[in-house]
Amino acid sequence: MKISKSPWLLHYDASSCNGCDIEVLASTTPRFDVERFGIINTGNPKHADIFVITGGVNEQTRQVVKQLYSQMPDPKVVIAAGICACDGGIFKDCYNVSGGVDTVIPVDVYVPGCAVKPEALIDGVVKALAILDEKREAMKNHAVCEVNYGGKTKEE
């Protein structure tokens, strides 16, 4: 059985304008119903497989994002939801905004849109599921977890 049949999701608002957050929550409502794919919106990083971040990370949320990411057990994937999370969006030039989630932690799927549409988000999650399975396979081949998450590493 593939691990992607039961993805639990953690949603964090890293200085988004709340537009994207509302859309993320909308995708869990009966109209879009992400639970069809077994997705549960859990608030606990230790139970989560998918990390959905909205907003371009600012100085205050930077540490939080890093910590949440490190608390999630492997294998895990990160989705940047909304154009702010992808590269900073309209807040890109603000002095306190890092400009995109990938400046802090490695991102697997970028879902653009301002605000991100629930359909696009579900599409992004389904893409992320395929990556989750790949990572699980990679993990099986290593005794210890040495998964290359792509994107930038902490040192860079």
How many CB atoms are closer than 10 A to CB 81?
30
Residue 40 parent element (H or E): strand 40-41
- Please tell me whether residue 26 binds ligand SF4 under the rule CB under 6 A: no
- Please tell me whether residue 17 binds ligand SF4 under the rule CB under 6 A: yes
Q: Which residues from 33-52 bind ligand SF4, rule CB under 6 A? A: none
Residue nearest to ligand SF4 (CB): 19
Residue 115 site contact among ligand SF4, another protein, none (CB < 5 to 8 Å, cut-off depends on kind):
ligand SF4
Distance CA 69, CA 156 (A): 17
Asked if residue 34 lies in contact with residue 24, where contact means CB atoms within 8 angstroms, the answer is: no
Q: Is residue 66 classed as helix, strand or coil in its secondary structure? A: helix
Q: How far is the CB of 73 from ligand SF4 (least distance, A)?
A: 28
Helix H, strand E, coil C: the string for 112-144 is CCCCCCHHHHHHHHHHHHHHHHHHHHHHHCCCC
Distance CA 50, CA 125 (A): 8
Residue 30 site contact among another protein, ligand SF4, none (CB < 5 to 8 Å, cut-off depends on kind):
another protein
Q: Give the residue, chosen from 75, 82, 99, 118, that forms a contact with ligand SF4 under the rule CB under 6 A.
A: 82
- Please tell me whether residue 98 binds ligand SF4 under the rule CB under 6 A: no
Residue 55 site contact among ligand SF4, another protein, none (CB < 5 to 8 Å, cut-off depends on kind):
ligand SF4
Q: Give the residue, chosen from 20, 24, 26, 41, that forms a contact with another protein under the rule CB under 8 A.
A: 41
